[in-house]
């Protein structure tokens, strides 16, 4: 490719993005950030650059982040025992202190600092700030064939209510909210909440245009192992029922359905390992992941 051809390709890319910039400017996009997308400085920098560009073209990004591996490493360093039941983390009071320290402190501030470094304006929050995330204790369903009592996971919570006033205030003043998924109970106690769940609830509370879930896989695969570019909520439910969607993708798409049910227009499941995956999905005609729409939906701008 000659130097001039390279310039022309860049120009074509900008022109392709123009209708999407026009369509989404002034609208809110909630992004769940975690997993492989947070593995390494290069990927984190790529993500921060995406967020700053979204902000510069008038889109309002809101970030909900995870940090499970970082929590596990800190628990091990502090010799605090932890366990999982049916694949779910049990959060003891001692572990909850570490969750708050790592999610609400180290990880949250690292994301905020990177966005600000690249020219954005970000503010870190947990669900305790402005009682953003009201929560209650989550009791997991017992395994099939096991005891009938629900699993007690300690200080693991579920969302009761999102109070988006603080997020609206930040958006109106040009800031990107970066949210650690820690909720607050009726007695002021902290709860560790699944980040996908919080992202879906925040997106619904903000009437977001899009919810984007960054994952460790390209998206939803069909029975032949091929990426599904677009599917409706009804098709997603059917794919769970017939066994096409299995394993760890099931709780993820259940959060997708939760968000769509609350009025989010579209949800995207993307591979967070791909540099600038957020921009590629939002600003290109084809996209790179799986887009899930309400019943009867289809891929439109």
Give the domain CATH number at 201.
3.40.1160.10
Residue 19 lies inside a defined structural domain of this protein: no
Q: Which two tokens stand for residue 298?
A: 């289809």
Q: Give CA–CA dist 283/54, Å, rounded.
A: 10
Reported residue count of the chain is 301
Q: Is the pLDDT of residue 51 over 90?
A: yes
Helix (H, G, I), strand (E, B) or coil at 231: strand
Q: Residue 273 falls within a domain, yes or no?
A: yes
Structural domain contains residue 289: yes
Q: Give the alpha-carbon dihedral of 94, 180, 252, 87, to 10 degrees.
A: -10
Output the pLDDT for position 148.
66
235 within domain boundaries: yes
User: How sure is the predictor about 12, in pLDDT bands with cuts at 50, 70 and 90?
Assistant: confident
For residue 224, pLDDT over 80 is answered with yes
The Cα 37–Cα 83 span in angstroms is: 25
The pair of structure tokens assigned to 90 is 């049990």
pLDDT in tens, 189-209: 999 999 999 999 999 999 999
Flag whether 12 is in a domain.
no
Question: Residue 106: which pLDDT band, with cuts at 50, 70 and 90?
Answer: very high
Residue 139: name the closest of 88, 76, 95 by CA.
Answer: 88
Highest mean pLDDT pick, 11-20, 133-142, 184-193: 184-193
Q: Which structural domain, as residue segments, surrounds residue 64?
A: 26-293
Angle at 200 between CA 141 and CA 105, to 5 degrees: 90
Judge contact between 124 and 46, C-beta under 8 A. no
What domain count does the chain have? 1
User: How much is the pTM?
Assistant: 0.91
Residue 55 reports pLDDT greater than 70: yes
Give the pLDDT score at 145: 58
Residue 18 lies in a domain: no
298 located within any domain: no
Q: Is residue 2 part of a domain?
A: no
């Amino acid at each position: 490719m000659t130097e001039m051809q390279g310039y022309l390709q860049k120009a074509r890319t900008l022109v392709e993005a123009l209708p999407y910039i026009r369509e989404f400017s002034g609208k809110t996009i909630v992004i769940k950030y975690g997993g492989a997308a947070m593995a390494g400085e290069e990927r984190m920098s790529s993500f921060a650059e995406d967020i700053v560009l979204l902000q510069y073209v008038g889109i309002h990004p809101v970030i909900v982040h995870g940090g499970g591996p970082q929590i596990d490493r800190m628990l091990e360093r502090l010799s605090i025992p932890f366990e999982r039941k049916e694949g779910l983390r049990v959060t003891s009071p001692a572990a909850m202190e570490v969750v708050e320290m790592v999610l609400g402190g180290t990880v949250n501030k690292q994301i905020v600092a990177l966005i600000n470094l690249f020219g954005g304006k970000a503010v870190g929050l947990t669900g305790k700030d402005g009682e953003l995330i009201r929560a209650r204790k989550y009791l997991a369903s017992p395994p099939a064939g096991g005891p009938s009592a629900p699993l007690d996971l300690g200080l693991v919570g579920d969302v009761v209510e999102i109070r988006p006033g603080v997020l609206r205030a930040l958006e109106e003043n040009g800031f990107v909210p970066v949210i650690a998924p820690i909720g607050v109970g009726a007695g002021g106690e902290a709860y560790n909440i699944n980040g996908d769940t919080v992202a879906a609830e925040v997106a619904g509370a903000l009437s977001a245009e899009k919810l984007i879930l960054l994952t460790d896989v390209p998206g939803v695969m069909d029975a032949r192992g091929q990426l599904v570019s677009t599917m409706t909520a009804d098709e997603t439910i059917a794919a769970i029922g017939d066994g096409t969607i299995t394993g760890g993708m099931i709780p993820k798409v259940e959060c997708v359905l939760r968000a769509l049910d609350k009025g989010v227009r579209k949800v995207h499941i993307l591979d967070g390992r791909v540099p600038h995956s957020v921009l590629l999905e939002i600003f290109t005609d084809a996209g790179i992941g799986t887009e899930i729409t309400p019943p009867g939906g289809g891929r439109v701008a």
